[in-house]
Amino acid sequence: MKKTTLIKEGKAKRLYNTDEKDLVWVEYMDQATALNGKRKDHIAGKGELNNQIDCILFEQLVAKGIHTDFVQKLSNNEQLNRKVKIIPLEVVVRNAASGSFQRKFDVSYLQAFDQPVVEFFYKSDELDDPFINTNQAIALKIIDLEESQRLEKMALEINQILKERFAKAHLQLVDFKVEFGKTADDEIVLADEISPDSCRLVDLTTKESLDKDVFRKKTGDLVTVYQEVLNRLNNSQEEVHV
Ligand code: UDP
Protein backbone atom coordinates (compact mmCIF):
# COMPACT_ATOMS: atom_id res chain seq x y z
CA MET A 1 0.00 0.00 0.00
CA LYS A 2 1.36 3.41 -1.03
CA LYS A 3 0.02 6.92 -0.51
CA THR A 4 -0.32 8.86 -3.75
CA THR A 5 -1.92 12.28 -4.30
CA LEU A 6 -3.03 14.67 -1.56
CA ILE A 7 -6.84 14.86 -1.44
CA LYS A 8 -7.08 17.62 1.14
CA GLU A 9 -5.47 19.20 4.15
CA GLY A 10 -7.91 19.88 6.96
CA LYS A 11 -7.42 21.58 10.32
CA ALA A 12 -5.67 18.61 11.89
CA LYS A 13 -5.24 15.93 9.23
CA ARG A 14 -3.97 15.37 5.70
CA LEU A 15 -5.83 12.93 3.48
CA TYR A 16 -4.11 11.09 0.64
CA ASN A 17 -5.28 8.76 -2.09
CA THR A 18 -3.66 5.33 -2.17
CA ASP A 19 -3.01 2.79 -4.89
CA GLU A 20 -6.29 1.15 -3.75
CA LYS A 21 -9.18 3.27 -5.00
CA ASP A 22 -11.46 2.71 -1.97
CA LEU A 23 -8.82 3.45 0.66
CA VAL A 24 -7.41 6.73 1.98
CA TRP A 25 -4.21 7.35 3.91
CA VAL A 26 -4.71 9.72 6.86
CA GLU A 27 -1.84 11.64 8.40
CA TYR A 28 -2.45 13.36 11.72
CA MET A 29 -0.68 16.72 11.97
CA ASP A 30 0.86 18.58 14.88
CA GLN A 31 -1.69 21.35 14.70
CA ALA A 32 -4.33 22.58 17.12
CA THR A 33 -7.09 25.01 16.21
CA ALA A 34 -9.72 26.80 18.26
CA LEU A 35 -12.50 29.27 17.50
CA ASN A 36 -13.34 27.47 14.23
CA GLY A 37 -9.78 27.68 12.96
CA LYS A 38 -9.22 31.35 13.85
CA ARG A 39 -6.58 30.37 16.43
CA LYS A 40 -3.95 27.95 15.12
CA ASP A 41 -0.92 26.59 16.98
CA HIS A 42 1.80 24.12 16.05
CA ILE A 43 2.03 21.55 18.86
CA ALA A 44 4.79 18.94 18.53
CA GLY A 45 3.55 15.44 19.36
CA LYS A 46 -0.16 16.16 19.08
CA GLY A 47 -0.66 14.26 15.80
CA GLU A 48 0.82 11.06 17.20
CA LEU A 49 -1.21 11.27 20.39
CA ASN A 50 -4.53 11.84 18.62
CA ASN A 51 -3.92 9.11 16.06
CA GLN A 52 -3.00 6.57 18.74
CA ILE A 53 -6.02 7.47 20.87
CA ASP A 54 -8.31 7.40 17.82
CA CYS A 55 -7.02 3.95 16.78
CA ILE A 56 -7.69 2.48 20.25
CA LEU A 57 -11.23 3.90 20.28
CA PHE A 58 -12.11 2.88 16.72
CA GLU A 59 -10.72 -0.65 17.29
CA GLN A 60 -12.96 -0.92 20.33
CA LEU A 61 -16.01 0.36 18.42
CA VAL A 62 -15.35 -2.07 15.55
CA ALA A 63 -15.00 -4.94 18.04
CA LYS A 64 -18.40 -4.00 19.49
CA GLY A 65 -20.04 -4.11 16.06
CA ILE A 66 -20.10 -0.45 14.98
CA HIS A 67 -19.58 0.00 11.25
CA THR A 68 -16.80 2.51 10.66
CA ASP A 69 -14.37 3.72 8.00
CA PHE A 70 -11.39 2.51 10.07
CA VAL A 71 -9.15 -0.07 8.41
CA GLN A 72 -5.85 -0.14 10.32
CA LYS A 73 -3.19 1.84 12.13
CA LEU A 74 -0.17 2.45 9.89
CA SER A 75 2.20 4.26 12.24
CA ASN A 76 1.94 6.45 15.32
CA ASN A 77 0.58 9.35 13.27
CA GLU A 78 -0.99 7.57 10.28
CA GLN A 79 -3.94 5.29 9.63
CA LEU A 80 -5.77 3.73 6.72
CA ASN A 81 -9.48 4.44 6.22
CA ARG A 82 -12.17 3.46 3.76
CA LYS A 83 -13.02 6.29 1.39
CA VAL A 84 -16.37 7.84 2.34
CA LYS A 85 -18.39 10.89 1.46
CA ILE A 86 -18.77 12.84 4.69
CA ILE A 87 -22.33 13.79 5.68
CA PRO A 88 -22.00 17.50 6.57
CA LEU A 89 -23.33 17.16 10.12
CA GLU A 90 -21.50 17.22 13.42
CA VAL A 91 -23.36 14.80 15.66
CA VAL A 92 -22.87 15.71 19.30
CA VAL A 93 -23.81 13.42 22.20
CA ARG A 94 -23.92 14.77 25.73
CA ASN A 95 -24.06 12.90 29.03
CA ALA A 96 -23.76 16.03 31.18
CA ALA A 97 -23.96 19.79 30.69
CA SER A 98 -20.94 21.68 29.39
CA GLY A 99 -19.86 23.95 26.53
CA SER A 100 -22.59 25.36 24.31
CA PHE A 101 -25.39 23.44 26.11
CA GLN A 102 -24.37 24.96 29.45
CA ARG A 103 -24.15 28.46 27.94
CA LYS A 104 -27.43 28.18 26.02
CA PHE A 105 -29.55 26.96 28.93
CA ASP A 106 -27.58 28.50 31.81
CA VAL A 107 -27.32 25.28 33.80
CA SER A 108 -24.54 24.17 36.10
CA TYR A 109 -21.36 22.60 34.78
CA LEU A 110 -21.57 18.78 34.60
CA GLN A 111 -25.23 18.68 35.57
CA ALA A 112 -26.08 15.06 34.71
CA PHE A 113 -28.85 14.08 32.29
CA ASP A 114 -31.24 11.17 32.82
CA GLN A 115 -30.62 10.17 29.23
CA PRO A 116 -28.03 11.29 26.69
CA VAL A 117 -28.80 14.28 24.48
CA VAL A 118 -28.11 14.07 20.73
CA GLU A 119 -27.69 17.30 18.75
CA PHE A 120 -26.87 18.00 15.10
CA PHE A 121 -24.78 20.93 13.88
CA TYR A 122 -24.46 21.82 10.19
CA LYS A 123 -20.83 21.68 9.08
CA SER A 124 -20.23 25.06 7.49
CA ASP A 125 -17.25 27.32 8.21
CA GLU A 126 -19.03 30.33 6.65
CA LEU A 127 -22.06 29.86 8.92
CA ASP A 128 -19.97 28.89 11.97
CA ASP A 129 -21.46 25.36 12.24
CA PRO A 130 -25.00 26.32 13.33
CA PHE A 131 -27.30 24.05 15.34
CA ILE A 132 -29.72 22.28 12.97
CA ASN A 133 -32.73 20.13 13.83
CA THR A 134 -33.91 17.05 11.95
CA ASN A 135 -36.61 18.87 9.96
CA GLN A 136 -34.15 21.55 8.90
CA ALA A 137 -31.59 18.94 7.84
CA ILE A 138 -34.28 17.12 5.81
CA ALA A 139 -35.43 20.42 4.22
CA LEU A 140 -31.85 21.11 3.15
CA LYS A 141 -31.61 17.54 1.76
CA ILE A 142 -28.60 16.76 3.94
CA ILE A 143 -30.26 13.56 5.19
CA ASP A 144 -33.70 11.92 5.06
CA LEU A 145 -35.81 10.90 8.06
CA GLU A 146 -34.58 7.32 8.06
CA GLU A 147 -30.96 8.45 7.93
CA SER A 148 -31.48 10.89 10.79
CA GLN A 149 -32.91 8.06 12.92
CA ARG A 150 -29.97 5.87 11.92
CA LEU A 151 -27.45 8.58 12.87
CA GLU A 152 -29.11 9.11 16.24
CA LYS A 153 -29.23 5.39 17.00
CA MET A 154 -25.59 4.87 16.00
CA ALA A 155 -24.50 7.95 17.98
CA LEU A 156 -26.18 6.57 21.13
CA GLU A 157 -24.59 3.12 20.66
CA ILE A 158 -21.19 4.76 20.16
CA ASN A 159 -21.77 6.80 23.31
CA GLN A 160 -22.49 3.70 25.37
CA ILE A 161 -19.34 1.90 24.16
CA LEU A 162 -17.09 4.95 24.60
CA LYS A 163 -18.54 5.81 28.03
CA GLU A 164 -17.71 2.31 29.29
CA ARG A 165 -14.24 2.31 27.68
CA PHE A 166 -13.34 5.69 29.18
CA ALA A 167 -14.74 4.70 32.59
CA LYS A 168 -12.19 1.83 32.63
CA ALA A 169 -9.54 4.55 32.22
CA HIS A 170 -11.11 6.46 35.14
CA LEU A 171 -12.46 9.14 32.78
CA GLN A 172 -15.97 10.52 32.49
CA LEU A 173 -17.15 11.12 28.92
CA VAL A 174 -19.03 14.41 29.28
CA ASP A 175 -19.77 14.95 25.59
CA PHE A 176 -18.27 14.33 22.16
CA LYS A 177 -18.69 15.03 18.44
CA VAL A 178 -18.68 12.46 15.68
CA GLU A 179 -19.11 12.56 11.93
CA PHE A 180 -20.54 9.95 9.61
CA GLY A 181 -19.88 9.16 5.97
CA LYS A 182 -21.39 7.15 3.16
CA THR A 183 -19.40 4.39 1.49
CA ALA A 184 -19.45 3.73 -2.26
CA ASP A 185 -22.34 1.28 -1.69
CA ASP A 186 -24.29 3.93 0.31
CA GLU A 187 -23.78 2.47 3.76
CA ILE A 188 -23.63 4.98 6.63
CA VAL A 189 -20.49 4.45 8.70
CA LEU A 190 -18.80 6.27 11.55
CA ALA A 191 -15.95 8.36 10.09
CA ASP A 192 -13.47 11.14 10.93
CA GLU A 193 -11.80 11.22 14.34
CA ILE A 194 -12.52 10.56 18.00
CA SER A 195 -9.86 12.06 20.28
CA PRO A 196 -9.51 14.59 23.09
CA ASP A 197 -9.92 17.22 20.32
CA SER A 198 -13.53 16.14 19.90
CA CYS A 199 -14.45 14.77 23.35
CA ARG A 200 -14.87 16.37 26.73
CA LEU A 201 -13.24 14.13 29.30
CA VAL A 202 -12.88 14.72 33.02
CA ASP A 203 -11.24 12.61 35.70
CA LEU A 204 -13.99 10.53 37.33
CA THR A 205 -12.96 11.64 40.83
CA THR A 206 -11.34 15.08 40.61
CA LYS A 207 -13.34 16.33 37.54
CA GLU A 208 -10.10 17.79 36.16
CA SER A 209 -10.34 18.39 32.36
CA LEU A 210 -8.29 16.07 30.15
CA ASP A 211 -9.17 17.31 26.67
CA LYS A 212 -8.95 20.24 24.27
CA ASP A 213 -10.58 22.55 26.83
CA VAL A 214 -7.08 23.01 28.32
CA PHE A 215 -6.04 24.52 24.96
CA ARG A 216 -9.25 26.49 24.39
CA LYS A 217 -9.17 27.98 27.89
CA LYS A 218 -5.35 28.03 28.15
CA THR A 219 -5.51 26.21 31.47
CA GLY A 220 -2.91 23.51 30.86
CA ASP A 221 -0.46 21.82 28.50
CA LEU A 222 -2.24 19.96 25.71
CA VAL A 223 0.49 17.35 25.12
CA THR A 224 0.77 16.43 28.82
CA VAL A 225 -2.98 16.01 29.09
CA TYR A 226 -3.42 13.99 25.85
CA GLN A 227 -0.47 11.77 26.84
CA GLU A 228 -2.27 11.11 30.13
CA VAL A 229 -5.41 10.05 28.26
CA LEU A 230 -3.36 7.71 26.02
CA ASN A 231 -1.54 6.22 29.03
CA ARG A 232 -4.79 5.60 30.85
CA LEU A 233 -6.32 3.92 27.79
CA ASN A 234 -3.22 1.75 27.29
CA ASN A 235 -3.12 0.79 30.96
CA SER A 236 -6.74 -0.28 30.87
CA GLN A 237 -6.44 -2.10 27.56
CA GLU A 238 -9.28 -4.50 26.88
CA GLU A 239 -9.05 -7.80 25.07
CA VAL A 240 -10.24 -6.87 21.61
CA HIS A 241 -11.68 -9.75 19.58
CA VAL A 242 -12.40 -8.62 16.04
N1 UDP B 1 -16.87 19.72 19.16
C2 UDP B 1 -15.95 19.40 18.15
N3 UDP B 1 -15.83 20.23 17.08
C4 UDP B 1 -16.58 21.36 16.94
C5 UDP B 1 -17.50 21.69 17.97
C6 UDP B 1 -17.62 20.85 19.05
O7 UDP B 1 -15.27 18.38 18.23
O8 UDP B 1 -16.44 22.07 15.93
C9 UDP B 1 -17.00 18.82 20.33
C10 UDP B 1 -16.48 19.46 21.60
O11 UDP B 1 -15.13 19.10 21.81
C12 UDP B 1 -17.36 18.85 22.66
C13 UDP B 1 -18.69 18.57 21.93
O14 UDP B 1 -18.39 18.59 20.54
O15 UDP B 1 -16.84 17.62 23.10
C16 UDP B 1 -19.77 19.58 22.24
O17 UDP B 1 -19.31 20.87 21.95
P18 UDP B 1 -20.20 22.16 22.28
O19 UDP B 1 -21.42 22.16 21.44
O20 UDP B 1 -20.42 22.21 23.75
O21 UDP B 1 -19.35 23.36 21.75
P22 UDP B 1 -18.06 24.09 22.33
O23 UDP B 1 -18.47 24.82 23.55
O24 UDP B 1 -17.07 23.02 22.57
O25 UDP B 1 -17.69 24.97 21.18
176 Cβ inside 6 Å of ligand 1: yes
Average pLDDT (48-59) is: 98
Among protein residues, the one whose CA lies closest to atom 2 of ligand 1:
198
Cα 18 to ligand 1 centroid, rounded to whole Å:
31
CB of 91 shorter than 6 A to ligand 1: no
Q: Across residues 146-165, what is the average pLDDT?
A: 98
> How crowded is the C-beta side of 1, counted as CA atoms within 13 Å?
18
Query: Looking at the predicted structure, is the pLDDT value of residue 69 above 80?
Result: yes
For residues 234 and 52, what is the distance between their CA atoms, to the nearest angstrom?
Answer: 10
In this structure, which residue's CA is closest to atom 12 in ligand 1? 176
Separation of CA 234 and ligand 1 centre (Å): 25
pLDDT at 43 (0 to 100): 96
**pLDDT beyond 70 at 212:** yes
Give the separation between CA 115 and CA 99, rounded to whole angstroms. Answer: 18
pLDDT for residue 31 is more than 60: yes
Instruction: Assess whether the C-beta atom of 159 lies below 6 angstroms from ligand 1.
Output: no
Average pLDDT over residues 31-48: 90
Residue 240: what pLDDT? 54
- Please compute the mean of the pLDDT values over residues 172-191 and round it to a whole number: 97
Percent of the residues in the chain that have a pLDDT greater than 90, as a whole number: 94
State the distance from the centre of ligand 1 to the C-alpha of 88, rounded, in angstroms.
Answer: 15
Q: What is the pLDDT of residue 12?
A: 95
Average pLDDT score over residue span 165-190: 97
> HEC profile for the chain?
CCEEEEEEECCCEEEEEECCCCEEEEEECCEEEECCCCEEEECCCHHHHHHHHHHHHHHHHHHCCCCECEEEEEECCEEEEECCEECCEEEEEEEECCHHHHHHHCCCCCCEEEEEEEEEEECCCCCCCCEECHHHHHHCCCCCHHHHHHHHHHHHHHHHHHHHHHHHCCEEEEEEEEEEEECCCCCEEEECCCCCCCEEEEECCCCCECCCHHHHCCCCCHHHHHHHHHHHHHHCCCCCCC
**Is any atom of ligand 1 closer than 6 Å to the C-beta of 88?**
no
Query: Is ligand 1 within 6 A of the CB of residue 199?
Result: yes
Mean pLDDT over residues 12-35, rounded?
96
User: What structural domains does the chain harbor?
Assistant: 3-82 (3.30.200.20), 85-221 (3.30.470.20)
pLDDT for residue 242 is more than 70:
no
The CA R_g of the chain, rounded to the nearest whole Å, is 17
Q: Give the model's confidence band at 150: pLDDT under 50 very low, under 70 low, under 90 confident, else very high.
A: very high
Pocket test for ligand 1, best of 92, 103, 174, 200 (most atoms within 8 A of CB): 92
Structure confidence by residue, pLDDT tens digits, 115-140? 999 999 999 999 999 999 999 999 99
pLDDT beyond 90 at 241: no
